[in-house]
Amino acid sequence: MAAATPTSFTDKIVVSDEVAEFSPAVIDEMKSHLAKYPADRTRSALIPLLFVVQRERGGWIDNPGVNFLAKFLNLEVTDVWETATFYSMFNLRPVGRHHIQICKTLSCKIMGEPDITDHICSKLGIHPGETTEDGKFTVSLVECLGSCGTAPMMQIGFDYHEDLTIEKVDKILDDCK
Ligand code: FES
């Protein structure tokens, strides 16, 4: 049988035994998340802790960060990767200062997503999945972000931008510092 071809995500992951270190304040923050869950259900804290790791590791989930969480939660490294690779809100490679996630699912698609995506990408000079040379913008196409009634829409950082038009997109990008 032919070997599986790595995906564009997994072939970017550098596997190492390095374990990330975090400040006492960050560890306390992680413990406060952990305290919200039963002692025998520490795995349930994985998603909030991945958000903390992503923030502290420069906007993405790297191998040392995953190794840390596996130790911190007494899980297998693969348990952490399973969750980190499932959700599009966790970045598996470095992203730009403004991470533009454009919804490509049905409602957004039929309401104009392809034109919005083409416009953003040609304006920034990149393709979906790429980051501008100055590190300012990354464009990703993602599945439904739960805002189908205001399609087409995109998320930048934690902010939703809805009922998009080309003019609206231009203003939003211009306002990104
Ligand atoms: S289809 Fe785009 S937000 Fe649901």
The residue extents of the domains of the chain are 22-86, 98-175
Structure-token match 């501008």, residue found? 132
Gap from CA of 151 to ligand 1 centroid (Å):
6
pLDDT tens for each residue of the chain, 177 residues long: 333 333 455 555 567 889 999 999 999 999 999 999 999 998 999 999 999 999 999 999 999 999 999 999 999 999 999 999 999 889 998 999 999 999 999 999 999 999 999 999 999 999 999 999 999 999 999 999 999 999 999 999 889 999 999 999 999 999 998
CATH number given to 98-175: 3.40.30.10
Cβ–ligand 1 contact at 147 (below 6 Å):
yes
Which pLDDT score is estimated for 98?
96
pLDDT of 164:
98
Distance 146 CA to ligand 1 centre (A): 5
pLDDT at 3: 36
Is there an atom of ligand 1 within 6 Å of 105 CB?
A: yes
Mutating to test ligand 1, I would choose from 110, 140, 147 the residue with most ligand atoms within 8 A of its C-beta, which is: 147
At the top level of CATH, the class of 22-86 is mainly alpha
C-alpha–C-alpha distance, residues 164 and 162, integer Å: 5
From CA 73, how far away is CA 77, in angstroms rounded? 10
Can you tell me the distance from the alpha carbon of 21 to that of 27, in angstroms, rounded to the nearest whole number?
9
Q: Is the CB of 154 under 6 A from ligand 1?
A: no
From the CA of 37, how far away is ligand 1's center (Å)? 31
Q: How far apart are CA 111 and CA 100, in angstroms?
A: 18
User: Is the full-model pTM beyond 0.85?
Assistant: no
